[in-house]
Amino acid sequence: MIKLDRGECPKELTPEVCKELTKLFSENRDRDVWNSPKIKRPLKDALLEMSHGKCVYCECMLNEEAKDVTIDHFLPKSTAPDKVVEWENLVPACLRCNREKRDYEGKIVNPCKDRPKDYIALDSKNRYFLKGIDKTGIGEKTIRAVKLNDILRVMVPRMREWEEIHQRLAEISQDLEEEGYRPKYKNRLEVLMGKCIPDCSYAAVKASNMLDNDCYKHIKKYLMSEGKWTNKLKELEEEMRRIALQLV
């Protein structure tokens, strides 16, 4: 989970439309008014832009096969029917996370308001297992409510993506040792870092692992000693630091 900036409310979701759809929902709670043709497309587009095209909870890429894009009501529509089409209450989620969370009423991390890294950390031994770290237990509740440690559906995909990067890092590190500096090694690192920034799937876990990885540290040190730690690489590292979770 990473911090997101909620953009502008789509212009189609005017106060009048909002009022009309909220009224329709109050009359019949089975109506999925948030999918009304009046707002459906612009609303989904705006939400996906906000989340970099990902589920706000598990960070899987949406719009991929078999991962339906759904609109999740952060405060459940069962308990907050007046917020059923309120821009501030809508987030894009994959079908799995939306179903797991369902009508959960406890306080959980709101990635549009809270910084997830203040509540959720990464297990330093397992590397893919999330842990709640705040005293109030909000991080732990979030992980449980959305099952963010679901082994098959969430942990394995994020492990697969990081392990792929991990292997490539080891290769670059070895190539640098054997052949010395070549621009292509810097470029290969840049590509890998570009896979651990906010617009990529499972970015929080990948960025945390990358920044703590020995091969990454070795390559960085090598490039710095050669004067090749470019502004682009610095920027990418900054982006990773912003979303990286603590290792605990």
59 vs 237 by CB, closer to Zn ion: 59
Q: Which of 62, 55, 132, 166 is nearest to 101 (CA)?
A: 55
Using CB under 5 A as the binding rule, whether residue 58 contacts Zn ion is answered as yes
Which alpha helices (H) appear in 7-101, and where do they start and end? 15-27, 40-50, 95-101
Using CB under 5 A as the binding rule, whether residue 94 contacts Zn ion is answered as yes
3 vs 166 by CB, closer to Zn ion: 3
* Token pair listed for 20: 């009309």
User: What region, left, alpha or beta, does residue 158 occupy, with left being phi > 0 and alpha being psi -120 to 50 degrees?
Assistant: alpha
Segment contacting Zn ion (CB under 5 A): 72-80, 92-100, 132-140, 180-188? Answer: 92-100
Using CB under 5 A as the binding rule, whether residue 1 contacts Zn ion is answered as no
Using CB under 5 A as the binding rule, whether residue 143 contacts Zn ion is answered as no
Spatial distance between the Cα atoms of 25 and 98, rounded to a whole number of angstroms = 19
Least distance between Zn ion and beta carbon 30 (Å): 24
* Token pair listed for 243: 């979303």
Q: Are 111 and 4 in contact (CB under 8 A)?
A: yes
Q: Are 10 and 46 in contact (CB under 8 A)?
A: yes
**Residue 133: what residue type?**
I
158 vs 166 by CB, closer to Zn ion: 158
Residues that contact Zn ion, how many (by CB under 5 A): 5
Q: Among residues 57, 162, 185, 222, which is the contact residue for Zn ion, using CB under 5 A?
A: 57
Using CB under 5 A as the binding rule, whether residue 109 contacts Zn ion is answered as no
Q: Are 43 and 34 in contact (CB under 8 A)?
A: yes
Segment contacting Zn ion (CB under 5 A): 23-31, 35-43, 56-64, 199-207? Answer: 56-64
* Token pair listed for 230: 């470019």
Q: Among residues 21, 47, 55, 245, which is the contact residue for Zn ion, using CB under 5 A?
A: 55
148 vs 172 by CB, closer to Zn ion: 148
Least distance between Zn ion and beta carbon 1 (Å): 10
Using CB under 5 A as the binding rule, whether residue 97 contacts Zn ion is answered as yes
- Residues in contact with Zn ion by CB under 5 A are 55, 57-58, 94, 97
